[in-house]
Amino acid sequence: MSQLPESGLSLEDLRTQVDEIDGRIHDALMERARAEAGIQAARHAAGEGASLFHPERDADMMRQMVERHQGDLPLSTVEHLWRDLICACTSLQADTAVHLDGSAELIEMLDLARFYFGFSVELVPAADAADVVGAVTASVGDLGLVALTDRAELPWWRGLSEAGAQVQARLPFVVLDERPADLPALVLAKADSMIDNADIAVYDARWSDLLPGKLMDQGIEVLSFFRSASGVDALLAISGDLSEEDVFKACTDAGAEPDVLRRVGGYAAPIDGDPEETFAGEDEEPQE
Ligand SMILES: O=C(O)C(=O)C[C@]1(C(=O)O)C=C[C@@H](O)C=C1
């Protein structure tokens, strides 16, 4: 005989409960959309830029979500629902397209784009990362998704600039052991000025020789690099607290002065979404 659930409620009672919860969720979603319209109107009144993408605010919301989250529902499910909701709400204010790096595996790229930007945005295929940079730069408020590979086929980040496309987010933002849509990627977008208050700063660096061997020792992550007969180009990530001079010095201390060092964006530090591991017996009272 099947057992009654812990609550002791019948199937009918539980379905009534679920219907009631769904009603509250739906009411809350509609209320949120109304509040969001108010935010966009306030932004407009304050003369804020046309961009509908606010990665720092997104990051704050996701951090709160990770802290709040409990129970068996996968965190990635909640993350996706929120991403879809945010993008659907902003799409009510303006049409935004997302340009996709065609050099990545198509299914992985589509999964990533739909996971983060939902079904309200138009997805536009681009040949490669350089084309994504060009399309975002030429647009008013479009976004770009570029797959992150250790070794790049072209130094596509040379096309990033203060007035054009910049790196504004790194995906996945919530790092989980097992998660859907886990293609490592960067989100490109335009901003009113260079993003200079992000947790992590991103630089375009070039050396006429080899990549200095001790970048990691200086706290510098090489996101991607491109080697050619004339040297090496690298896309670097380093703490956003450092000045450009500090970063130049860190590169020099790592082995060689870069010939070019340019800030090309920044992003919120990814958060660990896996609950803290507890070991068997850890929570038990010590036995006398
Ligand atoms: O808070 C804002 O400034 C908004 O524009 C609202 C909102 C949201 O839906 O919550 C919209 C898009 C952003 O990426 C982040 C936040």
pLDDT one-digit tens code per residue, 74-83: 999 999 999 9
Give the Å distance between the CA of 151 and the centre of ligand 1. Answer: 34
86 within ligand 1 shell (Cβ under 6 A): yes
User: Residues 6 or more apart from 193 whose CB is under 8 A from it?
Assistant: 162
Geometric angle at alpha carbon 52, from 48 and 54, rounded to 5°: 85
| Region 218-235 average pLDDT | 97
Give the Å distance between the CA of 197 and the centre of ligand 1. Answer: 18
53 within ligand 1 shell (Cβ under 6 A): yes
In 3D space, the residue among 91, 189, 184 whose CA is nearest the CA of residue 132 turns out to be 189
User: Residues 6 or more apart from 235 whose CB is under 8 A from it?
Assistant: 152, 155, 157, 202, 203, 204, 205, 222, 223, 224, 225, 264
What ipTM was estimated for this complex? 0.95
Give the Å distance between the CA of 88 and the centre of ligand 1. Answer: 11
Phi and psi at 254, nearest 5°, equal -80, -10
Please indicate whether residue 93 or residue 72 has the higher confidence score (pLDDT): 72
What integer pLDDT is reported at residue 93 of this predicted model? 83
268 within ligand 1 shell (Cβ under 6 A): no
Give the dihedral sign, CA 240/242/248/252.
Answer: negative
The protein residue with its alpha carbon nearest to ligand 1, atom 7, reads 86
Give the Å distance between the CA of 54 and the centre of ligand 1. Answer: 6
57 CA: nearest ligand 1 atom: 15
Kindly report the number of other CB atoms within 10 A of residue 108's CB atom: 15
53 CA: nearest ligand 1 atom: 14
85 CA: nearest ligand 1 atom: 9
| Region 182-192 average pLDDT | 94
What integer pLDDT is reported at residue 34 of this predicted model? 92
- Name the residue of 83, 90, 171 whose CB sits within 8 Å of the most ligand 1 atoms, as the mutation to test its pocket: 90
| Cα–Cα distances in angstroms (integers) from residue 23 to residues 18, 29, 30, in the given order | 9, 10, 11
The protein residue with its alpha carbon nearest to ligand 1, atom 4, reads 39
The residues that bridge with 147 in the sheet, in sequence order, are 185
The protein residue with its alpha carbon nearest to ligand 1, atom 13, reads 54
pLDDT band (50, 70, 90) for residue 287: very low
Give the Å distance between the CA of 136 and the centre of ligand 1. Answer: 20
Task: Classify the phi-psi angles of 199: left when phi > 0, otherwise alpha if psi is within -120 to 50, otherwise beta.
Answer: alpha
90 within ligand 1 shell (Cβ under 6 A): yes
| Region 145-154 average pLDDT | 97
Least confident stretch, 39-43, 146-150, 236-240: 39-43
pLDDT one-digit tens code per residue, 90-112: 888 888 899 999 999 999 999 99
pLDDT band (50, 70, 90) for residue 2: low
What are the DSSP E strand ranges found in 90-220? 97-101, 122-126, 143-147, 165-171, 174-175, 185-190, 200-207
What integer pLDDT is reported at residue 286 of this predicted model? 46
Give the Å distance between the CA of 233 and the centre of ligand 1. Answer: 34
96 within ligand 1 shell (Cβ under 6 A): no
What integer pLDDT is reported at residue 288 of this predicted model? 40
pTM of the predicted model as reported, rounded to 2 decimal places: 0.92
DSSP 160-196: --SSSEEEEEEE-SEE-SS-SS---EEEEEE-SS---
39 within ligand 1 shell (Cβ under 6 A): yes
Please indicate whether residue 240 or residue 288 has the higher confidence score (pLDDT): 240
79 within ligand 1 shell (Cβ under 6 A): no
**CA-CA-CA-CA torsion for 42, 43, 45, 51, nearest 10 degrees?**
-150
Q: What mean pLDDT, rounded, does the chain reach? A: 91
Give the Å distance between the CA of 58 and the centre of ligand 1. Answer: 7
pLDDT one-digit tens code per residue, 260-269: 999 999 999 9
Token pair belonging to 149: 């590979």
